Structure 1
């Protein structure tokens, strides 16, 4: 594959270390990850690292050594996964799908506890579908009290560069 620099299966020790980094997941979700027979490390030419769990690209890092994030495939495959969600109005969707961060006025609801630095799913209010992954720039209370400002950093969204590369990894 032209996007892949290197890939290998994580050892048991590396797998345990990787799972310890998934603090944003509930215990039930962590049990699912622990149950995967193999977790593969894939370094991409663009610098991202993708983790393929039993052939499914469920996690990534922007750079080696940085924080682990879920890909959009995680909430697609495990619909009941417990990760805090930010629900946006329909008008915000087109901007977020072009890479914009989530602004306070575009947020209609927050589900779950959300602290600054937490990973969250970004959902559209009508269909409730996840269309982006973000990182909170404010606490839930700050977002609810604010009238303006950036609330969520857009990390990964539907049809971005990572999404397109991940689709090639599925073939």
Structure 2
């Protein structure tokens, strides 16, 4: 999603009602993150929305992007949020061979999740937001959306298992807001 540089985004401040709706949506979509919401988005702070082409919205606080979404789809956390609160997101692990492709922005294929060295979380549904780390790595290097359930990935073992949304070193990672 952020392989290519994006133009300077159009920035606007969110109304307090929209900000409350975003906080509520985050608490609903990521229930384990709900206790940390006051640290991530303090109640008296001002969230900004940055509009990019292709209807991508970045939600930022003090120049740091926290979440993003495409159209009105689900909110996806920035990789830095996943690094700060790794226990709040399902984290799956790929084998060593898939890591170099992930760091170039490739989608995660099912064989990279079922081979030796990979670890899959049971019970993940299609459309779930997951963090992906490489074998032997401490932190996640990709945030993506499950394209199949974890059971289908194990059974079918072919095709795209996780769609890459944001990865370490992409243009969103390098973005420094003002």
* 1:142 equivalenced with 2:152 (yes/no): yes
- Classify the secondary structure of the residue corresponding to 1:129: coil
* Residues 79/66 of structure 1: CA separation in 2 closer, same or farther (3 Å cut): closer
Q: Does 1:40 pair with 2:45? A: no
What is aligned with 1:17? 21
Q: Is the contact made by 1:99 and 1:154 (CA closer than 8 Å) also made in structure 2? A: yes
Structure 1 segments of 4 or more deviating over 6 A?
A: none
Offset at 1:145? 2.1
Give the secondary structure class of the aligned counterpart of 1:162. helix
- 2:87 and 2:60 map into 1 onto residues whose CA distance is 18
Residues 122 and 150 of structure 2 are in contact (CA less than 8 Å); yes or no, is this contact kept in structure 1?
A: no
For 1:74, the equivalent position in structure 2 comes to: 81
RMSD: 2.2
Q: Distance in 2 between matches of 1:47 and 1:147?
A: 32
Q: CA deviation at 1:85?
A: 1.5
What runs of 5+ residues in structure 2 fail to find an aligned partner? 1-6
TM-score relative to the length of structure 1: 0.82
- Report the CA distance between 1:42 and its aligned residue: 2.0
Q: 2:107 corresponds to which residue?
A: 101
Change (3 A) 1:55 1:120: same
| Residues 41, 51 of structure 1: 8 Å contact kept | yes
Report matched runs for 1:110-121 at 5 Å: 110-111=120-121, 113-121=123-131
**Of 161, 166, 178, the match for 1:156:** 166
Decide whether the 8 Å contact of 2:50 with 2:57 is kept in 1.
yes
Q: CA deviation digits over 1:57-109, x for unaligned, max 9?
A: 2101234x332111111022x23432112211121011112221111111111
Specify which structure has the higher proportion of helix.
2
The equivalent of 1:125 in structure 2 is 135
Partner of 1:3: 8
